[in-house]
Structure 1
Amino acid sequence: MNEFQKFNLKPFLMTALDEINFKTPTPVQDKVIPLIADGKSVVGQSQTGSGKTHAFLLPIFNNIDPELNAIQAVITTPSRELAYQIYEDAKQLASASEVKIEIGNYVGGTDKKRQVEKLGHHQPAIIIGTPGRVLDLLKERALNFRQVKYMVIDEADMTLDMGFLNAVDQIAAAMPSKLQILVFSATIPQRLNVFLKKYMDHPVIEEIPTETTISPTIKNILISTKSSGKNNLIYKLLTMGEPYLALVFTNTKERADELTDYLKAQGLDVAKIHGGIQPRERKRIMKDIHRLRYQYVVATDLAARGIDIDGVSLVINDDIPTDLEFFIHRVGRTGRNGMSGTAITLYMPNEEDKVADVEKMGITFLPQQIRNNELVDTYDRDRRQTRRLSQKKLDPTMIGMVKKKKKKVKPGYKRRIRKAISEKEIRDRRMEQHQAVREAKKAKIKQSRNKRR
C-alpha cells in the first residue's frame, strides 16, 4: 500500500509517485502536506535531504487548474542547480497527468529574450527559478502574477546569505494580497524573520528533524578521488568483485553518457537510463534490467528511482547529488529486505562541505581507498585538517625547525624538537604572566592618580 493515499492526492500524482517508488512520506511531508492542503502558510525548518521538495510540490499540483492560462505557483531557489532539480521533480509529477501541466524554469545564464517572447504567448501554471531572473522577467512584464495562489521560497537562509532576499521581497510585493506563502529553510536567521513578519500572517512553523531511512545493513564507503581518474576508479570498483547488480548514479545526463561510453570501451555490458532517452527505449531497457539482462547500470536520479530490484548489491555515487534527498534514494536501492549492501560515494578533496552535509543526515561513512586491487581502510579524512590546524598554532621558529628534518636524522632529533616546543611554550606563558602583572600595576597607578584629582 502507498501511504501517500492518506493525503487524498489526485490519481495522476499517485501514479507519478509509484513510478519513482515513493511509498512512505518523510516526516516533513507528513507534517507539511496536510497544512498546505488546508490553506495554511507554512515555515518549514528542515535540513536538505528531508523530502521538502515533494512536501510543497504535491499539494500545489493537487490544487492548481492546469487548463487555466495563468501562473498559479511561483517557486524561488537561490541557485541554478537547485532550480533545475526542483524543475525535474516537477516535470516528473506532471508527466503522469492526462491534461498537460506547463512548468517554466527561469535561471540566470539562459536566453531571456526567448523566454520573454514565449511568455507573451502563454503563461505556465508553475514557474521555478532564481530570484534574479524571475524579477527580471517581472520587470519586463513577461510574467503575470495576478492569479498566483502559492509562493514558495526554498532554502530561504541561503537566499539571504547570497543577497537575494531583496529580489524575493520585490517578487512577493507583486503578488495578490491573498497568497499562501511556503518558506523552507535549514535555519531562521533574525533578518529573515523581518521578511516573514512582513508577508506572513500567523504562519504555522514546523521544525522537523531530518531522519534517514537507510537500512543498517548498508555499508557506506567514502573514497576521495580526482576527477581525471574517476572513470578508471569506477571501472575498478565494478570489477574487483562480482556484484549481482551494480547501479552507478551520476548527476547529469552528459556524465552518464561519458561514463557509459568509457565502461563499454573496457568491455563491460552496461545499461544506461536517463531523461534524454526516448520513453519507449527507456521502457525496454528497464524491462531488460528487471530480467537481469545487465549486471551494470549507469543512471541519473529521476530515471532510476523506480528501479525496485531486491538484488542490487552495489551502489556507486559518481558524485554527491545537489539535492541530498536523492542520496537517500540512491543508497536505498541496495540493502533491501535485510540483505547486505554496499554504497560507495566518490568525492573531490574540495567537497568536504558536501560530505559533512550528508553526515548531518545521520550517514556514517567508512573512509577507504583501493590498494592492490582491494578496498582497504584509510585514515579519517579530518586528520589532515586537524594536523594543519595544530601546525598553525606553532611559532614560525618551531615550524622552521620541523621543516629542517632531513632524510638522515641524527638520534634524538624528535626529542629535541619536542623539548624546544615545550621550552617555547613555557617562555610564552611567563611572558603572558609578566605582561599581566605590568598591566595590573599600570591600572593601579592610574586609579591612584584619579583619586588624587
Structure 2
Amino acid sequence: MSQSFTEFGLKPFLLTALTELDFKEPTAVQAKMIPVIREGRSVIGQSQTGSGKTHAFLLPIFDGLEADNHEVQAVITTPSRELAYQIYGDAKQLAKHSPEPLKLGNYVGGTDKQRQIEKLEREQPQLVIGTPGRIRDLIKSGALDVHTARQFVVDEADMTFDLGFLEDVDQIAARMPEKLQMMVFSATIPTKLRPFLKKYLVNPVVEEIPVQSVISPTIDNWLLATKGHSKNALIYQLLTMGEPYLALVFANTKQRVIEIANYLKDQNLKVAVIHGDVPARQRKRVMREVQNLDFQFVVATDLAARGIDIEGVSHVINDGIPEDLDYFIHRVGRTGRKGLPGTAITFYSPDEEEQIEALEAMGIEFKPKEIKNGEIVDSFDRNRRQKRGKKSVKISGALAGQIHKKKKKVKPGYKRQIQKAISKEQMYDRRIKQRQDRRTAKKQKKSASQRYTEK
C-alpha cells in the first residue's frame, strides 16, 4: 500500500514545497525515517545514494523549527562542499514556502571566514549546514553558538570517516547539549565508525534500507573493452557520436582528469573540470554553470560522485574502475535519476577482470559492447570461453609455481606475462617433439635402407 506525505502530519508549507518538487510518494528511507525523527528519536539510516535520504531528515527538521526562536536549533554536517551546497539548496527550497522567515547558514571551507564571523556576531542561523572543518572553526572562534541545538545530522558518515573529518564532527558534538537528537546517515557503517556512534547515540533506531536493485533499472550499464585503444580517443568518440544531453566522465585521479579534459579541449569540446584542487569558489561557479547547461561535458574525480546532484545527466563514462568499488555505484547513480533513462559506460582491460567480477558479485550486471564502424554494438560475453569449458593445459611445475604464487598486488600486464610464458613453454615443447619426430623418421629411413642393401 503506497503512502502519501500527508500521512506524516507535516506543516502545510512543507506539503506545498513537495508539490513544487513533484514528490508524490515518499521513498523507502523517507517512509521509515520521517515518523521516527518526528518522535525525537536518534537514528542511524543506512541507505544508498539517490534513496531520498536528504529530505528524510530535512522535512522533520523543518517541521520542528521555531521561526520566533533566533538560536541555532539544528546542525547538519556533510564531508564535501558540493554536498553542503546541495543540501543547502534543498533547504532553501523548503524555507521559501514557510509563512515566517527562517534563517539558514551555509559554511564550507574555501569561503570568506571573516565575513561569516562578522555576520554571525549580528545574528545566529536557525539551521546550520556545512563541512565539519569550517563549522568547528566557527565554533572555536566563538562566532557560532551550537549549545542551543536540539538536532545534529551527520550525513555521509562513512565518507566523513574516510576523509578524516570524524574528529571535527566529534568536537562539534561535544559543544552541543547532552540531550541531543542525533541522526547519522551513511551508505555503509564501517567498524571504525562504531565507537563514535556508541558515544553519542543512546538506543538509536537503526534502519537499513534495502535497495531494490544496486543501480537503477532505467540505466543501461555497458562494459567496453579498450583492447589497447587510446582511452582519450574512445571518450571523445563516445561523447560525439550519441549527442548526450549531459555527460559526466569519471577518472580515478586529478592528473587523469586534467589529461582527459585537455585532450577533449584540443578537440574543440567545451569541458567543465571538477577535482579537489579546484578552488572552492571556482568549483561553485562551475557547478552553477553546469546546472545552467553552459557545459555539456564534465570531467571529474570521485569528489563529484557523491557530491553532485545534477539534473538530466544522460551519460556517465568511467575512464577506469575506482579502487573503492562502492564509488562505482555512486558514479553510475548520477544518471537514470527520478525514473529518467541513462547510460553508463565503463572501460576495462583484461587485467581488471577481478574488479569486474567483484562488481558482478555485488549484483551489478553489465552488457558487453564494442564500437564498430562508428556505432556501439553488442559484443561477445567476455566469459564465453569459460562457459564453453576450458581446455586443460599441461605445464611444468616451475611455471605452475609462477602462476599460483600468491601476490598481494598484481601488477598491470601480469596475466599477459603468464599467458606469454605458457605460450613460450608450449612452443618449446612443440619444437622438442618435432625434433624427436624428425630423428625417429630419420632412424626409420636409415634402417629401411640398410635392410634393402643386405638383400
Shared fold, TM over 0.5: yes
- In structure 2, the partner of 1:165 is 166
In the alignment, structure 1 residue 344 sits paired with structure 2 residue 343: yes
Residues 3-152 of structure 1 aligned to structure 2 (within 5 Å): 3-152=4-153
Aligned residue for 2:63, secondary structure, equals helix
Query: Do the aligned partners of 1:222 and 1:344 also contact (CA within 8 Å) in 2?
Result: no
Aligned residue for 2:10, secondary structure, equals coil
In the alignment, structure 1 residue 233 sits paired with structure 2 residue 205: no
Rounded to whole Å, the distance in 2 between the matches of 1:74 and 1:375 is 48
Letter in 1 for 2:77: T
Letter in 1 for 2:90: D
Aligned residue for 1:205, secondary structure, equals strand
Rounded to whole Å, the distance in 1 between the matches of 2:356 and 2:196 is 31
The worse-fitting range, judged by mean Cα deviation, of 226-235 and 167-176 is: 226-235
Rounded to whole Å, the distance in 1 between the matches of 2:17 and 2:328 is 19
Q: Structure 1 residues 317 and 112, CA, compared in 2 at 3 Å: closer, same or farther?
A: same
Letter in 2 for 1:234: L
- In structure 2, the partner of 1:413 is 427
Letter in 2 for 1:233: L
Name stretches of at least 5 consecutive residues in structure 2 with no aligned partner: 251-260, 271-285, 299-303, 320-325, 385-400, 408-412, 434-455
Residues 212-223 of structure 1 aligned to structure 2 (within 5 Å): 212=213, 219-221=220-222
The worse-fitting range, judged by mean Cα deviation, of 100-109 and 317-326 is: 317-326
Letter in 2 for 1:413: M
- In structure 1, the partner of 2:177 is 176
Rounded to whole Å, the distance in 1 between the matches of 2:241 and 2:16 is 38
Name stretches of at least 5 consecutive residues in structure 1 with no aligned partner: 239-245, 265-273, 286-296, 306-313, 336-340, 384-389, 420-453
- In structure 2, the partner of 1:292 is none
Shift of 1:182: 0.7
Query: Do the aligned partners of 1:71 and 1:144 also contact (CA within 8 Å) in 2?
Result: yes
Shift of 1:6: 1.8
Alignment RMSD: 5.1
Kindly tell me the number of residue pairs found equivalent between the two proteins. Answer: 359
Shift of 1:81: 3.5
Letter in 2 for 1:137: L
Shift of 1:54: 1.8
Q: Structure 1 residues 185 and 63, CA, compared in 2 at 3 Å: closer, same or farther?
A: same
Q: Structure 1 residues 3 and 154, CA, compared in 2 at 3 Å: closer, same or farther?
A: same
1:89-120 CA-partner distances (Å, limit 9, x unpaired):
33333344454433322222332222222222
Rounded to whole Å, the distance in 1 between the matches of 2:182 and 2:130 is 16
Shift of 1:211: 2.9
- In structure 2, the partner of 1:316 is 315
Aligned residue for 2:61, secondary structure, equals helix
The worse-fitting range, judged by mean Cα deviation, of 361-370 and 53-62 is: 361-370
- In structure 2, the partner of 1:192 is 193
Rounded to whole Å, the distance in 1 between the matches of 2:405 and 2:430 is 15
Rounded to whole Å, the distance in 2 between the matches of 1:356 and 1:118 is 53
Letter in 2 for 1:315: S
1:182-222 CA-partner distances (Å, limit 9, x unpaired):
11233444443332232222222222222349775763335
Query: Do the aligned partners of 1:49 and 1:326 also contact (CA within 8 Å) in 2?
Result: no
Rounded to whole Å, the distance in 2 between the matches of 1:394 and 1:200 is 47
Letter in 1 for 2:131: T
Query: Do the aligned partners of 1:318 and 1:345 also contact (CA within 8 Å) in 2?
Result: yes
Aligned residue for 1:39, secondary structure, equals coil
Query: Do the aligned partners of 1:391 and 1:399 also contact (CA within 8 Å) in 2?
Result: no
Aligned residue for 1:364, secondary structure, equals coil
Letter in 1 for 2:111: T
- In structure 2, the partner of 1:248 is 246
Rounded to whole Å, the distance in 2 between the matches of 1:121 and 1:324 is 43
Query: Do the aligned partners of 1:82 and 1:323 also contact (CA within 8 Å) in 2?
Result: no
Q: Structure 1 residues 87 and 359, CA, compared in 2 at 3 Å: closer, same or farther?
A: farther
Rounded to whole Å, the distance in 2 between the matches of 1:356 and 1:182 is 35
The worse-fitting range, judged by mean Cα deviation, of 370-379 and 22-31 is: 370-379
Query: Do the aligned partners of 1:88 and 1:302 also contact (CA within 8 Å) in 2?
Result: no
1:402-451 CA-partner distances (Å, limit 9, x unpaired):
58969xx999528679x9xxxxxxxxxxxxxxxxxxxxxxxxxxxxxxxx
Rounded to whole Å, the distance in 1 between the matches of 2:331 and 2:122 is 35
Letter in 1 for 2:70: N
Equivalent residue for 1:331, pick from 331, 336, 348: 336
Aligned residue for 1:234, secondary structure, equals helix
Rounded to whole Å, the distance in 1 between the matches of 2:18 and 2:405 is 57
Shift of 1:74: 0.9
Rounded to whole Å, the distance in 1 between the matches of 2:328 and 2:115 is 28
Q: Structure 1 residues 20 and 359, CA, compared in 2 at 3 Å: closer, same or farther?
A: farther
Rounded to whole Å, the distance in 2 between the matches of 1:111 and 1:184 is 29
Aligned residue for 2:242, secondary structure, equals helix
Shift of 1:332: 4.6
Query: Do the aligned partners of 1:89 and 1:302 also contact (CA within 8 Å) in 2?
Result: no
Q: Structure 1 residues 230 and 323, CA, compared in 2 at 3 Å: closer, same or farther?
A: closer
Aligned residue for 2:76, secondary structure, equals strand
Query: Do the aligned partners of 1:153 and 1:182 also contact (CA within 8 Å) in 2?
Result: yes
Q: Which has the larger radius of gyration?
A: 2
Query: Do the aligned partners of 2:215 and 2:329 also contact (CA within 8 Å) in 1?
Result: no
Q: Structure 1 residues 202 and 112, CA, compared in 2 at 3 Å: closer, same or farther?
A: same
Query: Do the aligned partners of 2:46 and 2:188 also contact (CA within 8 Å) in 1?
Result: yes
